[in-house]
Structures are given as C-alpha cells and as structure tokens.
Amino acid sequence: MKIRVKFSKTGRMVYLGHLDIMRYFQKAIRRAGVDIAYSQGYNPHQKMSFSAPLSLGIESLAEYMDITLNSLPSAAWLKDILQKQMVPGMDILSITLLPDDAESAMTVLAAADYEVIVRNDVIENMDLSRMDAFYSQEEIHIVRKTKKSETEIDIKPLIYSLHEDDGVIFMRLASGSVQNLKPDLVMKAYFSYIGLDIPEHCIRIKRVEQFGENFVSLEDMGLQMD
Amino acid sequence: MKKLALPEDILLRVEKPGRYIGNEFNTVLKNPEEVEIRFAMCFPDIYEIGMSHLGIQILYDMFNQREDVYCERVYSPWTDLDRLMRQNNIPLFALESQDPIKDFDFLGITIQYEMCYTNILQVLELSGIPLLSSERNEDDPIVIGGGPCTYNPEPLADFFDLFYIGEGETSYFELLDAYKENKAVNGTRKDFLEKAANIPGIYAPLFYDVEYNPDGTIRSRSKNNPAVPETIIKQVVLEMDDTYYPEKPIVPHIKVTQDRAVLEVQRGCIRGCRFCQAGMVYRPVRERSLEFLRERAKTLIENTGHDEISLISLSTSDYPYLGELVNFLIEELGSNGVNISLPSLRIDSFSLDVMSKVQDVKKTSLTFAPEAGTQRLRDVINKGLTEEDILNGSALAFEGGWDRVKLYFMLGLPTETEEDIKGIADICNAIANKFYGIPKEQRSNRLQITASTSFFVPKPFTPFQWSKMLPLKEYMDRARTVNHAIKGSHNKKSIKYNWHDADVTILEGLFARGDRRVGKAILAAYKKGCIFDAWTENFSFRKWMEACEETGVDIDFYTVRGMETTEILPWDFINTGVTKNFLLREYNNAMNAMVTPNCREKCEGCGAAAFGGGVCHENKS
C-alpha cells in the first residue's frame, strides 16, 4: 500500500540537505520496524520518494514522503511509531493512505505556499509597502543565469498569489518538475523593483504547504488517517 | 531547542553545516545545571572522521551512564569555519549543548594519528584554552589525551595536563571521582593533577623532568614530585563481555566515513608483526563471546537503523567464532536489507568462503597486505604469510569470481634490499600469472591489481622501535624502483601502482619517536598556520621544515639516526606489559629473518601475561 507521510523540518534540522533527510528517514523507518517494501535487485532499497527538495536553510511545515508498505497495523500506529524516531525539529504531521494508482508526490506537485520575512538584523525596517504594486505589474522580469547563458524570463505567470501582512510575505508559487519558482527569486525581483541591492542571507523562508493541480494539498489526495 | 553556537549566516556559508549542529538520533541530552562534571570528548579531525571512531562512542556512552557526568562531543572545525570563528571571535563549542568548551571541566582528546597534532592546538586555541599546560589556570578545563599516539606522549607533553595510557574503560571513573572529591574540598588544579597521577594509567607530564646528554640522547628522567609513580602501567579491559559497549550509538545525520553499525569482535592481535604498534600495545588478545556479539548486533541495528554492520578488530580472521557469527548475522539481519562488511581478511579458503557469503563478488575487490615483496623480508617483519599462501589464496579467489585485488606493501623496512623492492613487482606479477593460468571460461576476462606502498615508520613499543629511517630522497627512489619494475613486468597492463610523497612519513617518524623537545616544533608549525596536516590539500612540508629549523629540532636525530638499544627512549617510563627484553629478542630474530609463532601457536613470553587475562591464560585454568 502507498502511504504519504507529511512532516515538518524546523530548527537545527534546516541545515541538513535533501540527501541527509532521505538517509535519516531510511534509518528511522528501519528503527521503527515499519514493514516497508524493498526494490528488487542486487542492492535492494526502501521504496521511498520525496516531494520537491528543500534548499539548505529553509524551514518547512509541509514536507512529503511517499512510502510503499507491505503491511500496516493502523495509521495511528505508524504516526506514533515514526514520531518516536524523530529528533527535535522533525515531526510527523499526518499519514495519508493513497489510492494504489496514485502518482508520486513529486510528479503531482504543482504549487507551494511560502512565508518569507526579511531579517531585521540584516536590513532594518525593510520597505515592504510596495508589494501590491510590485505584484500588480503585467510582467515581472528576472534574469536567470545558467552555466552557459543568461536569459530574461517573466515570472509573473508562476506567481499564483503574493501579499504582505505585518512584515510577513505570503506567496504561492509554481513548484515541481514542470514549472518551478523559488521564493528567493521573487524577493530578489522585489528588491530590484524598489531599487535595492540586497546582501546574501537577508531573508528567512518557510514552506508552509505543497499542492497538486487545483491547489489540492498533497495530504488531501487520499484517505487522511490519524 | 537551544540556540546554535553559530549564527545562521555562518552556517549557510560553510561546507556541510550538518557537522556543527548536533541533534543526532541517540544523542544524550542532559541539563548541564544538574551534573557535577562536564566532559567534552574531542576527536581532532572533521566530524565525518571523528564520528566514525568507536572508542569515542564507547566512552560517551560510559560517561553518560553516570548521572553526575555530562559528556558531549567536539570535532575540529574545517578550515572554512576555522577562519570564520577566528574572524568573528566565536569560541569552539560542544555539539550537544552548543556551550563553549572553556566552560567544561574536562577536554578529552583522542590522539589516533601523528598528523593530527596541530589540530589539537587548533581545538585548544579556538576554545580559548592556553596551548601550554603550564599557562592554564583554575578556570581552564583539564586537558587529557588518550589513544594510540599516547604510547609516546612526550612530543605533546607541553600541551596536555594528563594522558590516559591504555583502554579508557578501566580508570576513567576513578579519575572523575577524584575530580569531584578535589572540588568538594576546594582543592586546586595542581592538587587534582597530583591525585590523578596516582590513578593507574594516568600520566601527568608536569611531575617529571627529562635531562639530555650533549649528544642529544636522554641522560635521565626523574620525578620532581615524590607522590607520583616512576612508571605508568597501560590499562586493559579483561572482561570483554561485562564491560561498556554502547547499545544506542549516535546516528550521524550527514554521511560519515564509517556510516554503519560497528561490532568490535576482539581486542589485540595474536600475530606479532614486528612493525605493528597496535599488535604489541593492545596485547593480550581478548575476544568477545559469540553470545555477546549476537545480542549486541541485533540491538545495534534496532537502535540505529543502519543498513550495514561491520565486524572490526586488528585481525578479524583470527576471531575464533567468525564463521558462526557471520552465519547468524546473515540469517538474522540479511532479510532486512542489512549488509555485513568485513575488513581485509587473511587470504585463505575459510576467509574467502566467509567473504563470498556476505559480499557481492562482482562488485568488491579483494584486499590483502603481504607488506613485503620477498619471503625473506616477510620473515623479517614476521608477517607469517608465505608466498604459497599468497599465490594459492589468489588462485582460490580468482576461481571464486574475484577479479580485482588490492595489495598493500611497505617500503623502507629494516634490512630491505633492491631485491626486496623489486620483489613487490615480482609478487604482483606472479599473482597475475595465477589469474591468466586459469582457463578463460573459469575466470573473468580482465584482472586488475592495485598495488600500494606506504613508507615504514618505526613505532615505539615495537621490535623496530630502534630502527633507522631512510633519508627523504631514498624513499622516493625506492618507490620509483618499484614503479619501474612493475612497468617492465610481463603483466604490467593488469597492475596499477600507487605511492605517495615521503614528506609526511618523515614527520610521522619525528612525532612517533620524538621527545619533549619536539613539542616546540609542533607549536611553531601551528603558529605558521599548519592545521589538518593529514589532508594533502593543507599540508605544507616547507612550513614544517622552517618550524623545525627555528626551534632547533634536528629531524635526522629522530629519524635516520636510529636508536641504540642501550639508550633511554622517551617512552621507556610506560609499561605496556610487553617487555623491552622481548622486543629486543624480536629485533634480533628480525635481523636473522627468524619467524616467531603467533600467540595461539606458542607463547613467547612477551610479558602481557602479567595482566592476567586474554589469550595468555586460555586453556590454563
């Protein structure tokens, strides 16, 4: 059976990369004694996949891992037994039983919500009042650098919503393997819009949800159990 | 969760910030306010290497079983963070509490190889602890060293308050109790060091003075405090099943060098190779029972979730129940996708059988260490491996499907001749001939032999402790001779040869047999910016040469001179159980290419029986 596990990654754990989190869960699952399915072949590995990798330093309240199990006593059991294997900063939030033909979280991923703040200790009293004006532009151009070339692209179609409230910038952006926009690029575009050249690491990003088509949360694509 | 010691800007700027955040599964969390002793346990290299070390995991677990002690870990910050910490005045911290090391009662440093010596100074300096023991005051942690390099602690004597000689399981609790008692009566740092110096295995360098002859050799060594012992006796654990062994080792977040569960099957080695320090100083051989290891293997996998378990010891082939243990592990753990990894084994049919059970023959290469190219030289070093063993073993392996072989040799061994050097190419060639002598359909297509040489470094407490080293240029010439001989051999296309510069070898030789005066060169080199000397990209031979010259340390005196069997050696005050008399006898046997039987074949009376346990007393009760 296919199970989707929603978890958060906060605090110290934001300094661990995607591969480390994968290895962390492989070990947690083995410790927990979860009856996970293994791939066939010389080097059998646990059937496990994740939604969009999170860059180092970004917190998340909505990470998703799909696993295939041979058996499962109950969802509550799974949530409980996995939670016992977590370290501070990692929490199991929900367990969803997916239909057998469900596609992986990464495949269905289409959008994600982020909350962004500008670090007060880096830039004091950052002017965020022009966020609405920034977002209401017809087109928002940024320069995307690749190894070979620089291309200008319009990111406006990839921003599904954007507003600021009490110093927190909320944004819903295209995410996934087809179209993807990172929140720091949006902020960079805003800073450039208001004529600022901003230093590195001046914002804090938190991913708060990930969605499939029509903004259906990844945890609502099956039978959520807890 | 407590705040991290490093600000986020720095964490996001350094390579692998996961090294510095702690928070791993099975980490011990205590309230520092509620303990009496805070102990920072340090491996002076990067996290990935330090976390791969079993000894620290054992002591961490053992210390934290005490309610009055909180043991935390600290590793060397990599050069990127080192710079940032200095620029921003951030003191070195322990991973668990993220508190500064300076606030701890003890800083314990394991000293596993000579080329980490400058990293010790880095850890002290970043912690804000004076580098010299003599300059520390009541507020500074007690700095104590342990591990294999402390069998000659003298080059580091200026930097440590105490050394622990031998296995940590036996005397550490006594030391911690003495610390508490001293604190309770408001004793001074010196009071404590004096008490400590009377605990078995503890060496406090400040209570001893060394005088030198005009020719540089040691004239005398004397106590400057009547209350301390003349000699320090190495500590050994005798009861291997009823001792500390972590059931819940810490599971690292980032990938470390040994990313697996570790099962130490025995301590010590029966073989008695004459170049090998571990084989001498960890005598006698003591094995853990099959029952203990079975039970612990299961617990380790359950508590860590590792997908691999490694059976380690100095010579795992010699563990008497290896076959049974491997069969059990395959049955019990194999079905859960847990792999079993074995270190290099001796090359015989039994070992090959064990290896083929646990490894995918197609993917793994076979590793073994003939150490020398000719039978004469293998007899000199007492390798106990004949040409026949090597060739028959190789043939068996090739018939079993292996087609990649790694061979390890040493160059510069005592009595080595041109014939021995070229012999390395000869034996590689002979192994290749064995391969191509097998009918094509019974072996794989292509053979790949990788031969590597390292340079011999004479180590304290070995029969070769008196031996001469070679001048730098000579080492490189010998490596070139091997290379030339391999390139000219019939099977050259199947043989790849690796060697490295001898610069590091010279320094290893200096530190291994140095006395207290060598410490000045280490300090000078550190001041010139030497750290992470074990990492080729950081190593600067030039700086080391300058440091030695400026401090008047004559490298040749400690390396190419060789030592007289009559002179006082810097490490003579340590009693490892193995007597100097035995080492001398073995040295003479070496010069006559006489092989000495291993401990299970025949007891040669090395002295280790005095400890009252292990192989020395098998079948005698």
**A-to-B residue pairs, Cβ atoms closer than 8 angstroms:** 78
Domain match, A121 and A57 both: no
- Chain A closest-CA separation from residue B567 CA (Å): 54
Domain match, A208 and A119 both: yes
Residue B35 confidence class, pLDDT cut points 50, 70, 90: very high
Q: CA torsion angle for B275, B44, B313, B605 (degrees, to 10)?
A: 40
Question: What is the span of the domain harbouring residue A77?
Answer: 2-106
Residues in chain B: 621
Contact A57 B11 (CB under 8 A): yes
- Chain B closest-CA separation from residue A12 CA (Å): 6
Nearest residue to B340 (alpha-carbon basis) of B329, B348, B351, B349? B329
Does the pLDDT at position B407 exceed 80?
A: yes
**Contact indicator for A49, A107 with CB cutoff of 8 Å:** no
In this prediction, residue A226 carries a pLDDT of 60
Optimal mutation site among B2, B6, B8, B339, interface A, most CBs of chain A within 10 A: B8
Domain match, A96 and A179 both: no
CA distance B151 to B573: 10
Contact B23 A87 (CB under 8 A): yes
- Chain B closest-CA separation from residue A30 CA (Å): 5
Region B278-285: what's the mean pLDDT? 97
Beta pairing class for A141-145 and A111-118: unpaired
Kindly report the CA angle at A102 between A97 and A107, in degrees rounded to 5? Answer: 120
Tokens matching residue A19: 């591969």
Bridge partners for B418 per DSSP:
none
Tell me which of A84, A106, A128 is where a domain ends. A106
- Chain A closest-CA separation from residue B296 CA (Å): 15
Does the pLDDT at position A108 exceed 70?
A: yes
Q: Is B25 on the interface with A (CB under 8 A)?
A: yes
Domain match, A61 and A148 both: no
Q: Is B301 on the interface with A (CB under 8 A)?
A: yes
**Contact indicator for B69, B37 with CB cutoff of 8 Å:** yes
Q: State percent of chain A over pLDDT 90.
A: 81
Tell me which of A89, A106, A123 is where a domain ends. A106
Nearest residue to B327 (alpha-carbon basis) of B360, B294, B363, B287? B294
The domain defined by B360-500 folds into Transcription Regulator spoIIAA (3.30.750)
Helix (H) or strand (E) holding B244: none
Candidate from A15, A31, A42 with C-beta closest to B18: A15
List of chain A residues whose C-beta atoms are within 8 Å of the C-beta of residue B8: 57, 201
Q: Which chain A residues in 89-108 lie under 8 Å from chain B, judged by CB atoms?
A: 89
Domain match, A205 and A146 both: yes
Domain match, A75 and A153 both: no
Q: Which chain B residues in 338-397 lie under 8 Å from chain A, judged by CB atoms?
A: 360, 363
Nearest residue to B77 (alpha-carbon basis) of B56, B95, B96? B95
Contact B23 A24 (CB under 8 A): no
What does the radius of gyration of chain A's CA atoms come to, in whole angstroms? 19
Q: State percent of chain B over pLDDT 90.
A: 91
CB atoms within 10 A of CB B299: 15
Domain match, A182 and A147 both: yes
In this prediction, residue B107 carries a pLDDT of 98
Contact A15 B336 (CB under 8 A): no
Which SS3 state, helix, strand or coil, does residue A185 take?
helix
Nearest residue to B102 (alpha-carbon basis) of B171, B38, B21? B38
Contact B12 A201 (CB under 8 A): yes
Among the residue ranges A37-41, A166-170, B3-7, the one predicted with the least confidence is A37-41
Q: What is the DSSP string of B200-211?
A: TTEE-GGGEEEE
Does the pLDDT at position B218 exceed 60?
A: yes
**Contact indicator for B265, B312 with CB cutoff of 8 Å:** yes
In this prediction, residue B172 carries a pLDDT of 97
Q: Is B305 on the interface with A (CB under 8 A)?
A: yes
List of chain A residues whose C-beta atoms are within 8 Å of the C-beta of residue B340: none
| pLDDT tens by residue, B322-379 | 999 999 999 998 877 889 998 878 888 888 888 888 877 667 788 889 999 999 999 9
Q: Is B27 on the interface with A (CB under 8 A)?
A: yes
Which SS3 state, helix, strand or coil, does residue B605 take?
coil
- Chain A closest-CA separation from residue B234 CA (Å): 38
DSSP class of B251: B
- Chain B closest-CA separation from residue A75 CA (Å): 21
Nearest residue to B144 (alpha-carbon basis) of B180, B110, B103, B183? B110
Going through B520-581 in order, the beta strands assigned E by DSSP cover: 574-575
Tokens matching residue B37: 């002793």
DSSP class of B116: G
Does the fold of domain B360-500 match that of domain B260-343+577-621? yes
Q: Is the dihedral of CA A57, A62, A65, A71 positive or negative?
A: positive
CA distance B263 to B357: 18
Domain match, A168 and A186 both: yes
**Contact indicator for B308, B341 with CB cutoff of 8 Å:** yes
Query: Is the preceding peptide bond at B284 cis, omega within 30 degrees of 0?
Result: yes
Domain match, A116 and A186 both: yes
Q: How many domains does chain A have?
A: 2
CA distance A183 to A180: 10
> Of A117-131, B45-59, B390-404, where does the model show the most confidence?
B45-59
What does the radius of gyration of chain B's CA atoms come to, in whole angstroms? 25
Alpha-carbon distance values, A115 to A6, A7, B44 (Å)? 18, 17, 40
Tokens matching residue A15: 């300094």
Tokens matching residue B79: 């050069």
Q: Kindly report the average pLDDT of chain A as a whole number.
A: 93
Contact B255 A20 (CB under 8 A): yes
Among the residue ranges A63-67, B402-406, B554-558, the one predicted with the least confidence is B402-406
Domain match, A112 and A147 both: yes
**Contact indicator for A203, A187 with CB cutoff of 8 Å:** yes
Tokens matching residue A143: 């320069």
Residue A223 lies in a domain: no
* Best CATH choice for the domain B260-343+577-621 from the list 3.40.30.10, 3.30.750.210, 3.20.190.10, 3.40.50.1360: 3.30.750.210
Candidate from A24, A28, A38 with C-beta closest to B337: A38
A31 to chain B: nearest residue by CA?
B305
Tokens matching residue B27: 């980490």
Domain match, A148 and A80 both: no
Tell me which of A51, A73, A106 is where a domain ends. A106
CB atoms within 10 A of CB B181: 13
In this prediction, residue B620 carries a pLDDT of 60
Which SS3 state, helix, strand or coil, does residue B370 take?
strand
The answer to ipTM > 0.90 is: yes
Residue A197 confidence class, pLDDT cut points 50, 70, 90: confident
Residue A222 lies in a domain: no
Contact B305 A85 (CB under 8 A): yes
Sorted by sequence, the CB contacts under 8 Å of residue B37 that are 6+ apart come out as B68, B69, B70, B105, B106, B176, B179, B180
Q: What is the DSSP string of B163-174?
A: EE-B-TTTTHHH
**Contact indicator for B317, B326 with CB cutoff of 8 Å:** no
Optimal mutation site among A10, A13, A14, A15, interface B, most CBs of chain B within 10 A: A15
In this prediction, residue B1 carries a pLDDT of 61
In this prediction, residue A145 carries a pLDDT of 79
Tokens matching residue B411: 């160059």
Candidate from A12, A16, A27 with C-beta closest to B305: A27
Residue A95 lies in a domain: yes
- Chain A closest-CA separation from residue B120 CA (Å): 27
Domain match, A153 and A56 both: no
Tokens matching residue B46: 């990067």
CA distance B16 to A14: 12
Question: What's the number of CA atoms in the CB half-sphere (13 Å) around residue B383?
Answer: 25
3-state SS record for B492-536: HHHEEEECCCCHHHHHHHHHHCCCCCHHHHHHHHHHCCCCCCCCC
Tokens matching residue B481: 């001779």
Does the pLDDT at position B509 exceed 90?
A: yes
Kindly report the CA angle at B410 between B408 and B415, in degrees rounded to 5? Answer: 145
List of chain A residues whose C-beta atoms are within 8 Å of the C-beta of residue B22: 12
Which CATH number covers residue A27? 3.30.70.580
Residue boundaries of the structural domains of chain B: 8-233, 260-343+577-621, 360-500
Helix (H) or strand (E) holding B398: helix B387-399
Tokens matching residue A181: 């926009």
Q: Kindly report the average pLDDT of chain B as a whole number.
A: 95
DSSP class of A69: B
Sorted by sequence, the CB contacts under 8 Å of residue B194 that are 6+ apart come out as B204, B207, B225, B227, B228
Helix (H) or strand (E) holding A143: strand A141-145
Q: Is A39 on the interface with B (CB under 8 A)?
A: no
Tokens matching residue B409: 């040799």
- Chain A closest-CA separation from residue B443 CA (Å): 21
| pLDDT tens by residue, B12-24 | 999 999 999 999 9
Q: CA torsion angle for B89, B92, B97, B102 (degrees, to 10)?
A: -90
- Chain A closest-CA separation from residue B517 CA (Å): 44
Region A120-142: what's the mean pLDDT? 91
List of chain B residues whose C-beta atoms are within 8 Å of the C-beta of residue A17: 18
Helix (H) or strand (E) holding B109: strand B106-110
Q: Is B225 on the interface with A (CB under 8 A)?
A: no
CA distance B339 to A39: 15
Q: Is B441 on the interface with A (CB under 8 A)?
A: no
**Contact indicator for A203, A118 with CB cutoff of 8 Å:** yes
Tokens matching residue A18: 């995607």
